[in-house]
Amino acid sequence: MIRIVPAIDIIGGRCVRLSQGDYNRSTFYSAKPQEMAERFFASGLTRVHAVDLDGAKSGFPVNLETLKELASVPGTEIEWGGGIKTRGDVDAVLEAGASRVVLGTMAVKDPNLFKSLLREYGPDKIVLGADVRGTKVAVSGWTETSGAEITSLLDSFLPVLSEVIVTDISKDGMLTGPDPNFYKSLMDRFPGVGITASGGVGDVRDIKALEDVGVPAVIVGKALYEGRIKLEDIAYGG
């Protein structure tokens, strides 16, 4: 059964969703991040994917107070990303209450540090976040596209790497549905790596399509906030 991970993207301590990673195309929501985490947990969804968009753009963690509030929700596992570029940043995020730290830009720009942290903290704490446009990996809050190919990036961290969150930026926030074949191709090439799909989920049929090709986990964001997916429809996936 596919694991469903609800998303909370944060700007200025508020819930927000971007369209295709564009900070100029953002939608803010009235619910506070902690309130959303409480709703998710009450529905049986125990892991929350939270992104510090201010941090991603600034290059260092910004919304750590919000992380502390999220981590205060009993029983909730927070995976946190955005602007984490140093060992000190990783420590600060873990100390603020994150269960898992998602690293993307570091993995591209400082791969030796990423490998070192992955070995030191283990795959239960350090997760690769690969945000892609086409087949190229984007960094710095999606504001910069690197020359790295997604497959080459994953290859470079084997055999230590055991999990990656792959976000299709072209589909993120668009509610048009992910491409199951894209994720299946990655799973076929990297059978030892657990792949979480992210970007584009618009309704429960999209989740089912990913489940049908064997994707182990999916991040759901805007569709929840827009009411296109009800928590009662996906609570089984926690």
Q: Which residues contact 103 (CB under 8 A, 6 or more apart)?
A: 81, 84, 90, 114, 117, 126, 127, 128, 129
Phi and psi at residue 19, in whole multiples of 5°?
-110, 120
Q: Residue 35's Cα: distance from chain center in Å?
A: 19
Encoded tokens for 160: 């230590």
Bridge-based pairing state of the strands 14-19 and 22-28: antiparallel
Among residues 54, 131, 172, 206, the one annotated as catalytic is 131
* Burial per residue of 208-233, b for 16 or more beta-carbon CB atoms within 10 angstroms, e otherwise: ebbbeeebbbbbbbbbbbeebbebee
Whether 218 and 2 have beta carbons less than 8 Å apart is answered as yes
CA distance 181 to 190: 14
Is 9 assigned a catalytic role?
yes
> What residues act catalytically?
9, 131
